[in-house]
């Protein structure tokens, strides 16, 4: 099977974009009556978010990853990390989807399935980010907005 060609990313996630996504998520969670309060964005673990953002962009630029593999790296890093006090796996889904959307793509996988996948990734401590991202890359299918 031939691998479909996708372009390299044109727009990257930034702290400001993640802050906006987080704020919108927190507001919607409160409206929906989520029992556990979502802490403020600035209460996150120092430099964890910035480390992921920089690492994924550097690897993608250096190795010329396409948009799909870059999204897989974002997803895996966010699912495995503890950037925030709560909601890391849900935010992995949101951040990955927004990254793709601002680059003109969307996943064909429903968000609830991505959330379940993020939980599986987070629980599996024995596999590397690289191996997992390459497996996720095979699962991701994109459509153009």
Mean of per-residue pLDDT scores for the chain: 93
Q: How many CB atoms lie within 10 A of CB 143?
A: 9
Q: pLDDT tens digit string along 110-145?
A: 989 999 999 999 999 899 999 999 999 999 999 998
Of 69, 79, 91, nearest to 9 by C-alpha is 69
Two tokens, residue 107: 């996943």
CA dihedral 126, 128, 133, 135 (to 10 degrees): -50
**143 - beta bridge partners?**
106
Write down the pTM of the prediction: 0.93
> Terminal CA-to-CA distance of the chain, rounded, Å?
24
Where do the structural domains in the chain lie, given as residue ranges?
15-144
List Cβ neighbours of 15 (8 Å cut-off, separation of 6 or more): 49, 50, 53
Question: What is the CATH number that goes with domain 15-144?
Answer: 1.20.120.1870
């Amino acid at each position: 099977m031939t691998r479909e060609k996708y372009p390299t990313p044109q727009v990257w996630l930034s702290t400001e974009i993640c802050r906006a996504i987080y704020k919108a998520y927190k507001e919607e969670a409160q409206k929906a009556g989520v029992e556990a309060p979502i802490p403020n964005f600035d209460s996150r673990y120092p430099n964890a978010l910035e480390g992921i953002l920089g690492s994924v962009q550097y690897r993608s630029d250096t190795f010329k990853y396409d948009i799909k593999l870059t999204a897989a790296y974002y997803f895996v890093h966010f699912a495995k990390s503890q950037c925030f006090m709560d909601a890391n796996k849900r935010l992995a889904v949101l951040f990955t989807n927004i990254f793709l959307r601002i680059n003109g793509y969307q996943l064909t996988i429903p968000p609830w399935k991505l959330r379940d996948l993020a939980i599986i990734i987070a629980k599996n401590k024995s596999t590397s980010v690289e191996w997992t991202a390459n497996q996720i890359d095979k699962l991701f299918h994109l459509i153009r907005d």
